[in-house]
Amino acid sequence: MSDADVRVLRDALVAAARRLDALGLNRGTAGNVSVRCALPGHDGYLITPSGMPPAEVHAPDIVAMPIGGEAPLDPSARRPSSEWRFHRDVYRARPDAGAIVHTHSPFATTLACLGRGIPSFHYMVARAGGRDIRCAAYATFGTQALSDAAVAAIEGRRACLLAHHGMIALGRDLADALALAAEVEGLAEVYWRALAVGEPGCLPDDEMDRVAAQFRAYGQRPAGG
């Protein structure tokens, strides 16, 4: 990937972080965003820096990380998001992941604080890649234990909740991951509202499988696809 291409991705990450803030999916310094990219001599990814509000983040603040390592490629770079481990490990486990969005969005986080995933109460749950959206076991933020729990919860899925923490969504690119994060937050809100009335019924597994198959052919193919 050329230096110019990397600069475009850095700008796109800044825009994505600010978009999440504008949509209310993250607030303050919560959450983080990354995108997979080929860096000089490395399979790597770019990730937002630790502890910086999106309005203060600019392209040079974005941190380049190797998928095979633990330290920024540039020793003088900003510190990466404290959650860099699960970004790295999801990229390792999921070749289909081109970008990852992590949010502390209100409704998804509310369910996560109750230890609830999102069951098949609505057919759109299949947009996240399966019959449900799991909730990963709790572990301290920034730890390998949290990364391990997240990778397990997102297996065979494109999104999961993190107990007492937030949500992860992955996509083929930044736009896809952002759209899914917004979709999951919307589903979390509807589920939360349904629970205020009673426990909603769920669609059977065979129907969710049919819906998932429909979604695999849904929408427009990327250019050249």
Write down the H helix ranges in 105-220. Answer: 106-113, 144-153, 174-197, 205-216
Question: What tens digit of pLDDT does each residue of 110-164 get?
Answer: 999 999 999 999 999 999 999 999 999 999 999 999 999 999 999 999 999 999 9
Collapsing DSSP to helix, strand or coil, 46 comes out as strand
Q: Name the architecture of domain 3-216.
A: 3-Layer(aba) Sandwich (3.40)
36 — phi, psi (to 5°)? -75, 140
* Reported pTM: 0.94
How far from the centroid of its chain's Cα atoms is residue 2's Cα? 25
* Enzyme catalytic residues: 83
For the chain, which residues make up each domain, given as ranges? Answer: 3-216
pLDDT in tens, 57-95: 999 999 999 998 889 889 888 999 999 999 999 999 999
